């Protein structure tokens, strides 16, 4: 019986120690979440409005300008950008992003994958580890895995510029991005969206808007379009960054609650075992006294 009591005590110590870790991780994630949330809240309205304007303009001007970022073409080579975190302990956060990427690949890029013409660019170690193990028939780019260590625009802009350069040169014909869209600390949406060519607005094809450009269309869009695409990619990163900390904070909060429940259950078991031990000892004493009296 003493062995059972010792086992329960050791387990209680282990659970209490784990609970301290989950509490600390929750507090750290909560602090980081505030900063990450502020960043995406500031950028999102600006980025969304710019993206809407870009789609409207490219849909309206059609082939009037020599901007190929909005031109659909035969997909011979495709690129999938997967944005995950570098660390786990965030619930299903990384798994959901990977699932969104896998679904997009299966539905839209299966032919390119079969032909060995699918490139997967990984930002974040979790996504890289998955695709390195399971997609050996694809080209896996790991040069930007550690991009989350510094999310300043000057550092992250190299990726959208690389993607635009590859698209302009015809090295890839379709680029999609899988990321996690942040709503709040408890809710994030993993999704895969088309990055290039820029998706058209269907309604714009029915009614062509007569925009007034100053300076000329070609000159203006040549500098405007890449800038908007860079901001849009930065939004993907900031959305995922905030989602990661929100998911981790929620996961650690649930883990802390579960540890409380487990500790309560272990305390009950410990008290029961202790009572059994005391009852057994008393029975032995009473039995011994009865034997001596007889």
Residue 172 within a domain = yes
Residue 170 within a domain = yes
User: Is the bond preceding 197 in cis, omega lying within 30 degrees of 0?
Assistant: yes
Please give the order of strands across the beta sheet that includes 139-141.
Answer: 139-141, 118-123, 78-83, 174-184, 187-196
Give the whole-angstrom CA distance, residue 29 versus residue 256: 14
Residue 182 within a domain = yes
pLDDT digits (tens, 9 = 90+) for 174-206: 999 999 999 988 899 999 999 999 887 655 445
Whichever domain contains 127, its CATH number is 3.40.1380.10
Of 14-23, 50-59, 115-124, 240-249, minimum mean pLDDT range: 50-59
Residue 178 within a domain = yes
Structural domain count, the chain: 1
- Work out the average pLDDT over 284-293: 69
Q: What is the pTM of this model?
A: 0.84
Domain interval for residue 36: 21-252
Residue 212 within a domain = yes
Give the whole-angstrom CA distance, residue 146 versus residue 149: 6
Residue 145 within a domain = yes
């Amino acid at each position: 019986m003493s062995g059972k009591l010792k086992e329960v005590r050791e387990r209680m110590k282990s659970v209490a120690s784990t609970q301290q870790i989950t509490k600390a991780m929750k507090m750290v994630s909560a602090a980081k979440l505030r900063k990450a949330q502020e960043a995406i809240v500031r950028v999102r309205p600006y980025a969304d409005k710019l993206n809407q304007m870009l789609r409207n303009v490219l849909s309206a001007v059609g082939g009037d300008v020599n901007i190929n970022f909005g031109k659909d073409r035969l997909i011979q080579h495709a690129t999938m950008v997967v944005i995950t975190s570098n660390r786990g302990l965030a619930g299903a956060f990384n798994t959901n992003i990977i699932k969104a990427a896998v679904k997009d690949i299966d539905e839209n890029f299966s032919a390119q994958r079969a032909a060995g013409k699918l490139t997967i660019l990984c930002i974040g170690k979790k996504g890289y580890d998955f695709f390195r193990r399971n997609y050996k028939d694809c080209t896996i780019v790991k040069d930007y895995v550690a991009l989350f260590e510094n999310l300043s625009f000057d550092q992250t802009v190299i990726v959208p510029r690389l993607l635009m350069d590859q698209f302009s040169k015809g090295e890839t014909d379709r680029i999609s991005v899988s990321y996690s869209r942040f709503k709040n600390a408890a809710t994030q949406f993993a999704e895969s969206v088309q990055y290039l060519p820029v998706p058209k607005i269907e309604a714009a094809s029915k009614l062509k808007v007569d925009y007034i450009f100053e300076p000329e269309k070609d000159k203006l869009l040549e500098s405007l379009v890449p800038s908007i695409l860079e901001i849009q990619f930065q939004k993907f990163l900031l959305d995922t960054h905030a989602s990661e900390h929100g998911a981790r904070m929620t996961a650690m909060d649930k883990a802390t609650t579960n540890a409380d429940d487990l500790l309560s259950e272990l305390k009950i078991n410990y008290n029961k075992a202790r009572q059994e031990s005391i009852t057994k000892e008393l029975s032995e004493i009473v039995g011994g006294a009865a034997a001596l009296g007889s």
